[in-house]
Structure 1
Amino acid sequence: MQALSTQAQIAVIGAGAMGAGIAQVAAQAGHSVKLYDMREGSAAEAIEAIDRQLGKRVESGKLDADKRTATVARLQAAGSIEALADSSLVIEAIVENLDVKRKLLAQLEALCSAECILASNTSSLSVTALAAGMQHPERVVGMHFFNPAPVMALVEVVSGLATSTAVAQCIHSTAAAWGKKPVHTRSTPGFIVNRVARPFYAESLRALQEGAASCATLDALMREAGAFRMGAFELTDLIGHDVNYAVTCSVFNAYYNDMRFQPSLMQKDLVDAGHLGRKSGQGFYSYAVDAQKPSVDELSADCQVETCVVEGSLGAAQGLVERIKAAGIKVIQRDGSGLLRAGDAVVALSDGRMACQRSQQEGLSNLVLIDLAKDYTKATRLGLACAKGTSGEALNQVVSLLAKCGIKSSLLTDIPGLVVMRTVAMLANEAADAALHNVGTAADIDLAMCAGVNYPMGPLAWADQIGLPTVLKTLDNLQSAYGEERYRPSLLLRRKVAEGSRFHD
């Protein structure tokens, strides 16, 4: 179904930050928009704020003055809900309360024409439940924007049990016409993004709880090796721990306490203490005016490594070999099981086992595990873990080898999967389960995670790049190490490995 014509009247209910942002997006796309809020004067104030914000963009040269004028001219504060009766699309962005939203939707159904689409910007409520009891539930659809709506590209188009396919496609096409990147998803807890993203926070929180490294070090590894824009601790400080913890609890409860979504006691402590992050001045980090930036733990190198031996392929870490060669270090290649030898040290990519476990099982002395990097030719830091008994000299040789390549080293305690590898494996696993349950296609899931939370790569495409057998092995080893259902591999991942196929074949 085609997108709504720009001649179609759009209405937005709720003049808070999200509602005002949605109204701005629709107006910038060429629609006349009526903005309504029960609080008298709120809609007019929101339009004035939009005008000021657009004015700043004009002053900075990012927006044409005529476009600002035209956008604001298309915005109108509605004095009553009855003024929305002629709308072709009504988007509600009010309080996240099922009863309140259902009452509003029933009122809109009686008020607007039978052709009017009723959309909810809900981020957590069931679209099926919102439409239940309505005479025409097929016209109700989720249209989940991300904050701030004028900036964030993603829109999750959420179909409830009764949502018409034509309605969902119309909203998908309309969001695309508004310059957004829409994805289709079913009305399941968390939709795509809030479900698939849970491991990003959970695995760093667990690593911190187990004493793997400091917040600053774990965040640095997620940025400098994983290529994420922010690590889990700085991101949750930005979101607000009350918000992030509540979403995790909501998803956990909605999936009947599935341990994959188990909330963190460490984060609960922060919420209980009122340490909510930036907005309270204290979270994992301090935001006081005189607060010092926490240091990242880093190993120093003081020896020279001129030659190394690569036995077989390093798999996902093969790019490191090219970087070593580019640094002028002689590389001797021979057959083997995927190991790198530098002096006394044996180096291997983490596969979800602890270094001590792998050392014992494979008879490897002086074993140093390296963490995953999105791109080993560009990474500026890697996480390392050593088996017990690994000599200081052997570790120094690995650190020196990486330093010559321009890579900093941060030592973690010997936890399974280190931090980037276990996080990416778990993200891919949750994305695979979402695809298995028809929450979204592989393409839509990857697009949602890139456009919605700025991941450097979709988790399913990343799994394809790493190699699905490697991801599955990592998860199997994590589950074995912890003995928890949390790390159980998705059936779809197992099927793909058995088939020899990929998620994006």
Structure 2
Amino acid sequence: MAAIATGSVVAVIGSGAMGSGIAQIAAAAGHTVRLFDTRAEAALKAIADIGAVYAKLVEKGKMSAADADAARARLHAASGLAEMADAALVVEAIVENLDAKRALFADLEAIVGESAILATNTSSISVTAIAARLRHPQRLVGMHFFNPVPLMALVEVISGVASDPAVAATVFDTAAAWGKNPVHAKSTPGFIVNRVARPFYAEGLRLLNEQAADPATIDAVMREGGGFRMGPFELMDLIGHDVNYSVTQSVFNAYYNDPRYTPSVLQQELLNAGFLGRKSGRGFFRYGEGAANPGPRSEAPQPRPDYVGYSIEPGQSDAITSALCQRLEAHGLKVARRKSAEGHQHNEAPAFHCNGAAVYFTDGRTATARARDNRHADTIVFDLVLDYGKAARIALARADQCRPEAFDAVVGIFQAAGFAVTRVDDVPGLAVMRTVAMLANEAADAVNQGVCSAAAADTAMQKGVNYPRGPLAWADAVGIGHIVTVLENMAAAYGEDRYRVSPLLRRKQAAGARFHA
């Protein structure tokens, strides 16, 4: 199949932010666009606003004046649905209500030609359910854009049970022709992005609920260590807690109260208080003129260590601790490598040593549990970061038995290597590691259940919510076996089905395979 022909008519129903954005890119791609809204003045205003956007693009040199004029001339406000009769593609972007969408498509089906494609921009409603009452449900698919449409690259092309694969392929190719990064997905609760993203918020909320750190500090660890554009709390404040909580509740209900999607009591309390985030002036943080918020907490400067030991089993290779070794040495720290059995009380490797402390990459156990297992009181664990050569911040946790002076010496190691060091309370999996493990687990389950491919899952999360790396590519980088270990240890620590391991992760681990070659 191929994209709908350039110059063919694209009808857009609804002139809100999503509808006007879709109209803008469709007209710029060469289509005649008929924009309809039940409020005629709203469609006219939207077209005027799109014209102003084109003018700004011309000023910035991102669009020629001739192209802007031509695109603007292709935009037309429709006075009624009857004007959509010759549309090759109709994209619905109205209120998120099943009955309203069903009624609209029933009306459209009686107007448009037999070859016309019907698409819904729904972000949460079953495409199968929307199409169910149509005479020809096979020609309806989801075409889920992300806000703001002109800037966000992702389009989820959603196939319901009755959707014709050829129709989905045409919509996919059309989105690509419009300059987007489309992905195919099956109509299941949350599709790809709204499902796979749930742990990003859920694990942050659990960390806060367990008093691992405050919101500003957790956000800083996720941004400056994990490489995420925003931390979970500032992002929830931006989205709005009413919207974010509603999506979580919807996915939770749709999956029959699966504990993996359990909403947070903390977020419910914000709703109860009316603290919706930026839109209300207060969420986890305060907004508006004169608002002051605390910054992230970092450990006080500690002396540069004279010596860092590094123990590793003969023949063992570990990419993460090796990368950290390279950073330490690049900052002038002498790292003495040796076999792990020489004079140390721990039975794990690889590990760093300084002032009697043993320092490990988190495997989902608490530092306290590792201290017990290794019979080494001064045990400290460090978090995952996106790039051990460049990350600005790293999180550490110490065992309850650990001597403060031993912890301070380890803080000095990381500070000497250029990290801002954040101490979080001794929780399983720390911050970045537990979040990435759960994101990868959720993405793997989506692939395992036929919702999407591994490539689509990673593309969706990078292009739809700006993750620094796709969750499955991250699992490949960390090691699928390590992701499984983290999840197993977290499940043991919490005793909850929430952290059960995806069968696909276990199969990949058993086969020694990766998600991406």
Task: Give the TM-score of the pair, scaled to structure 1.
Answer: 0.99
1:424 aligns with 436
Is 1:353 aligned to 2:365, yes or no?
yes
Q: 2:378 & 2:173 partners in 1: Cα distance?
A: 57
Amino acid at match of 1:66: A
Does residue 441 of structure 1 match 2:445?
A: no
**More divergent stretch after superposition (295-304 vs 3-12):** 295-304
Please state whether the residue corresponding to 1:310 is helix, strand or coil.
strand
Encode CA deviations 1:14-53: one digit per residue, 9 max, x unaligned.
0001000000010111111000001121111100011122
SS in 1 for 2:182: strand
**Farther off after superposition, 48-57 or 216-225:** 48-57
- Where in structure 2 are the equivalents of 1:94-173 lying within 5 Å? 94-173=94-173
Shift of 1:63: 3.0
May I ask how many residue pairs the two structures share in their alignment?
Answer: 505
Q: Secondary structure at the residue paired with 2:40?
A: coil
> Could you tell me whether the CA contact under 8 Å between 1:372 and 1:420 is conserved in 2?
yes
Aligned residue number for residue 271 of structure 2? 271
Q: Greater CA deviation, 130-139 or 463-472?
A: 130-139
Structure 1 residue 145: Cα displacement: 0.2
Q: Work out the CA distance in 2 between the residues paired with 1:317 and 1:55.
A: 52
Amino acid at match of 2:260: R
**Counterpart Cα distance in 1 of 2:228 and 2:274:** 27
Out of 387, 392, 396, the position equivalent to 2:399 is 387
Partner of 1:334: 338
Q: Structure 2 unaligned runs (5+)?
A: 341-348
Checking the alignment, whether the CA contact within 8 Å between 1:11 and 1:89 is kept in structure 2 is yes
Q: Over residues 83-102 of structure 1, what are the superposed CA-to-partner deviations in whole Å (9 max), with x where a residue is unaligned?
A: 01110000000001101100
1:462 is aligned with what amino acid? W
Which secondary structure does the structure 2 equivalent of 1:206 belong to?
helix
In structure 2, C-alpha distance between the alignment counterparts of 1:414 and 1:302, rounded to whole Å: 21
Q: Which of 462, 486, 493 is residue 450 of structure 1 equivalent to?
A: 462
Distance (whole Å) between structure 2 residues aligned to residue 407 and residue 166 of structure 1: 51
Deviation at 1:417, TM superposition (A): 0.4
Work out whether residues 302 and 415 of structure 2, in 8 Å CA contact, stay in contact via their aligned partners in 1.
Answer: no
Map residues 17-96 of structure 1 onto 2, 5 A cutoff. Answer: 17-96=17-96
Give 1:288 deviation, angstroms.
2.8
Is the partner of 1:11 in helix, strand or coil?
strand
Matched residue type, 2:357: A
Matched, 1:400 2:412: yes
Q: Distance in 1 between matches of 2:229 and 2:354?
A: 32
Question: Alignment partner of 2:326: what SS?
Answer: helix
Query: Which residue pairs with 1:286 in the alignment?
Result: 286
Are residues 1:320 and 2:332 paired? Answer: no
The equivalent of 2:510 in structure 1 is: 498
**Residue identity opposite 1:409 in structure 2:** V
Find the aligned partners of 2:321 and 2:223 in 1 and give their Cα distance.
17
Secondary structure, aligned partner of 1:432: helix
Give the Cα separation in 1 of the matches to 2:32 and 2:125: 28
Q: Secondary structure at the match of 2:143?
A: strand
For residue 279 of structure 2, give the secondary structure of its aligned residue in structure 1: coil
Post-superposition, which runs of at least 4 consecutive aligned residues in structure 1 deviate over 4 A?
none
Instruction: Map 1:175-324; keep pairs closer than 5 Å.
Output: 175-312=175-312, 313-324=317-328
Matched AA of 1:426: M
For 2:344, the equivalent position in structure 1 comes to none
Per the normalisation by structure 2, the TM-score is: 0.96
Give yes or no for contact 1:316–1:465 (8 Å, CA) kept in 2. Answer: no
Does the 8 A contact of 1:449 with 1:458 survive in 2? yes
Paired amino acid for 1:192: I
2:185 and 2:304 map into 1 onto residues whose CA distance is 54
| Cα distance between partner residues in 1 of 2:487 and 2:318 | 19
1:13 corresponds in structure 2 to 13
1:60: how far off?
3.4
Q: For the residues of structure 2 that align with 1:34 and 1:317, how far apart are their CA atoms?
A: 57
Counterpart contact for 1:316–1:467, Cα < 8 Å:
no
Contact (CA 8 Å) 2:160, 2:187: kept in 1 or not? yes
Deviation at 1:455, TM superposition (A): 0.3
Paired residue secondary structure (2:309): strand
* In 1: Cα distance, 2:391 partner to 2:491 partner: 28
The equivalent of 2:378 in structure 1 is 366
**Structure 1 unaligned spans of 5+:** none
Match of 2:346 in 1: none
Contact map agreement 1:204 1:232 (CA 8 A) in 2:
yes
2:178 is the counterpart of 1:174: no
8 Å CA contact 2:84, 2:112 repeated in 1: yes
Identity of counterpart residues, as a percentage? Answer: 53
Matched residue type, 2:172: H
Deviation readout 1:323-350 (Å, 9 max, x if unpaired): 0010111111123311111222211011
**Where do residues 457-472 of structure 1 align in structure 2 (5 Å cutoff)?**
457-472=469-484
**What is the one-letter code of the residue matched to 2:439?**
L
Matched, 1:343 2:355: yes
> Aligned partners of 1:301 and 1:41: how far apart in 2?
61
| Cα offsets for 1:106-153 (capped at 9, x unmatched) | 111111110000000000011111111211111000000000111100
Are 1:314 and 1:348, in contact at CA under 8 Å, matched by a contact in 2?
A: no
Q: Which amino acid aligns with 2:409?
A: Q
User: d(CA) in 1 for partners of 2:145 and 2:330?
Assistant: 45
Aligned mates of 2:487, 2:256 — CA distance in 1: 22
Q: Following TM superposition, by how much is the alpha carbon of 1:314 offset from its aligned partner in structure 2, in angstroms?
A: 4.7
TM-aligned CA deviation for residue 315 of structure 1: 4.3
| 1:315/1:338 contact within 8 Å kept | no
Secondary structure, aligned partner of 2:457:
helix
User: 1: distance between equivalents of 2:321 and 2:250?
Assistant: 37
Distance in structure 1 (CA, Å) of the matches to 2:63 and 2:269: 44
Secondary structure of 2:2's match?
coil
Distance (whole Å) between structure 1 residues aligned to residue 237 and residue 3 of structure 2? 38
Distance (whole Å) between structure 1 residues aligned to residue 481 and residue 488 of structure 2: 10
Q: AA paired with 2:266? A: M
What is the CA-CA distance between 1:364 and the residue it aligns to?
Answer: 1.9
Amino acid at match of 1:330: K
Looking at structure 1, the residues matched to 233 and 321 of structure 2 have their Cα atoms a distance apart, in angstroms, of 26
Give the aligned CA root-mean-square deviation in angstroms: 1.0
The aligned counterpart of 2:345 is none
